[in-house]
């Protein structure tokens, strides 16, 4: 059976590539600290020695729209083109050509920064096949938070039941408190530091019970209008397991958002 070599959850800030590659006067003052944190985070995947990456993200209305919005979508294309023109223009993200593996469901899927940004931070060589899984965190009616958790559990079960000797890293990206286009978009930190503090504690300790007790589709509007991306973090908590503490936890308070990085090593708990 396949081995879940690592479970990784992180934010996916699209400006990291530009910030990390900028030089001289154009380099942001926080870039060096950010790069150091990403270098340490990247090592958590390298240590796992994965053969395949299962990557959970959300399409940012690039190809999925209200006339065709699956709640959950798995890609099975032999390769994936990335990124989109607006992501190249606004964030400086590079064009990427990624390999896929034949699993299930969509034969045509182009990848955006919810998948490519974690690749840039965790595996910039982009040398491993990926299985992308997209979730709907933008277009109502949204799946309930509990469905994200259940999907995470199912993904873990499917990987571990796969008749293969491959080592699989399951990677997912979401948001903490986040505001897009609203009055709290830009500031010295995310729009709701108290939510961010609780969210990091929930994820780091695997406290799904508390997260599910407090998080609902309605409550997620309060910390910021794009905070529903936190449900992708809840999905990853489902992958890692209830009350399973993360082996690696880090964060960075970065002007308008809190960046957060978590890694679990399921093999170590066996």
pTM across the whole model: 0.81
Mean pLDDT of the 72-85 span: 60
Q: Residue 58 is encoded by which pair of tokens?
A: 């959300």
Task: Give the pairing type, strands 3-10 and 72-74.
Answer: unpaired
The torsion angles phi and psi of 19, rounded to 5 degrees, stand at: -65, -40
pLDDT at 61: 61
pLDDT band at 233 (very low <50, low <70, confident <90, very high): very high
Name the least confident of 78-92, 121-135, 188-202: 78-92
Task: Give the pairing type, strands 72-74 and 130-135.
Answer: antiparallel
Task: Give the pairing type, strands 257-264 and 96-99.
Answer: unpaired
Fold classified for 3-269: Protocatechuate 4,5-dioxygenase; Chain B (3.40.830)
Q: Residue 26 is encoded by which pair of tokens?
A: 């154009």
Listed in sequence order, the DSSP H helices in the chain are 16-21, 31-46, 85-91, 113-122, 145-161, 193-205, 208-214, 230-240
What are the residue boundaries of the structural domains of the chain, listed by start?
3-269
Which tens digit of pLDDT belongs to each residue from 197-210? Answer: 999 999 999 999 99
User: Which helix H or strand E contains 52, and what residues bound it?
Assistant: strand 52-57
**Cα-based angle 183, 186, 188 (whole degrees, multiple of 5):** 125
Which tens digit of pLDDT belongs to each residue from 119-154? Answer: 889 999 999 998 888 888 888 888 899 999 999 998
- State how far the Cα of 208 lies from the Cα of 194, in Å rounded to an integer: 18
- The pLDDT of residue 247 is above 50: yes
């Amino acid at each position: 059976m396949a081995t879940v070599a690592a479970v990784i959850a992180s934010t996916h800030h699209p400006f990291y590539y530009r910030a990390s590659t900028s030089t001289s006067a154009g380099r942001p003052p926080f870039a060096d600290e950010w790069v150091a944190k990403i270098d340490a985070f990247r090592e958590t995947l390298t240590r796992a020695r994965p053969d395949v990456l299962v990557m959970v993200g959300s399409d940012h209305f690039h190809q999925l729209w209200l006339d065709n919005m699956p709640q959950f979508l798995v890609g099975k294309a032999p390769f994936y083109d990335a990124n989109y023109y607006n992501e190249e223009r606004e964030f400086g993200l590079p064009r990427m050509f990624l390999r896929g593996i034949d699993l299930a469901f969509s034969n045509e899927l182009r990848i955006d920064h919810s998948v490519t940004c974690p690749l840039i931070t965790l595996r910039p060589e982009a040398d491993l096949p990926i299985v992308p899984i997209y979730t709907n965190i933008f277009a109502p009616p949204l799946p309930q938070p509990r469905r994200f958790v259940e999907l995470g559990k199912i993904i873990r079960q499917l990987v571990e039941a796969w008749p293969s000797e491959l080592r699989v890293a399951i990677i997912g990206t979401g948001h903490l408190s986040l505001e897009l286009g609203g009055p709290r978009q830009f500031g010295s930190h995310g729009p709701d530091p108290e939510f961010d503090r609780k969210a990091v504690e929930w994820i780091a300790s695997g406290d799904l019970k508390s997260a599910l007790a407090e998080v609902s589709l309605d409550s997620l509007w309060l910390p910021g209008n794009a905070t529903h991306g936190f449900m992708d973090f809840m999905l990853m908590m489902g992958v890692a397991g209830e009350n399973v503490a993360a082996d690696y936890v880090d964060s960075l308070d970065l002007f308008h958002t809190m960046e957060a990085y978590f890694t679990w090593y399921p093999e170590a708990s066996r």
